[in-house]
Amino acid sequence: MAVEGGMKCVKFLVFIFNFLFWICGIALIALGIFVQVNLNKTLVMSNTSSSGAPIVILVVGVIIFFISFFGCCGAWKENYCMVTTFAILLTLIFLVEIAAAIAGYIFKDKVKDALTVGFLADMKKYGADSVATDTINELQNKYNCCGANNYTDWTDVWRNSSVPESCCLHNGTKPAPNCNVNPTPMTINTEGCAEKVEAWLHKHIVIVAAVALGVAFFEILGIIFACCLMRGIRKGYEVM
């Protein structure tokens, strides 16, 4: 028996919201790929925790993308089992997102420490590992930084007074010859890369938070309307 009256409206609302979930899933997938690509361009992922956030965003996006299938089909066909599956899965995703948000808030002050440890470990591979060498050079050029904490970190690695040429001041032009030998604040960037990358992450976390809040809002509405539709479908079966 098909739902009638107000439940028809709820049915179409669930269908529309699932279409929005589908778009949210695509948005999260795109956001996860964007963050992962940018981090890979700036950091050598030497440990799992460094790349955890973009992977979580990407996985949640893919899951939401497929969960929307159950919601759309269940609402359109008025299938109680599919609508129930959709509501349960969406609730679980919502709870996981809350847990991730809490964990992110708790560990937000440890981001710089993780970046510093990872960068120092990769500095030791400089010159011997082409991937680490190219990535560090790209990072130092992009963020106008030198070393993990500051340029003196290279003294501990190389045991001499020189730094990589990517530390040199360039201001869009070719750096001065031998600027990396016996460096001074007049010839090289002195700020550490960990602090610069942390600032970049904090700047872009606003985008991540805005997308996450938008998705969470639609998830709550989707759960409410799915429960209403489940009730309407069940009543229809009872009447039959």
* pLDDT tens-digit readout, 65-108: 777 777 777 777 777 787 788 888 888 888 877 877 777 677 66
Q: Is the pLDDT of residue 8 over 80?
A: no
Q: Where does the chain show beta strands of DSSP type E?
A: none
State the Cα–Cα distance between residues 25 and 58, nearest whole angstrom: 9
DSSP structural state of residue 188: B
Q: Which domains does the chain have, with CATH numbers?
A: 6-111+206-239 (no CATH), 128-194 (1.10.1450)
13-41 residue pLDDT tens: 777 777 777 787 787 788 777 766 766 65
Question: 174: Cβ–Cβ under 8 A, 6 or more apart, which residues?
Answer: none
Is the confidence at residue 121, as pLDDT, over 80? yes
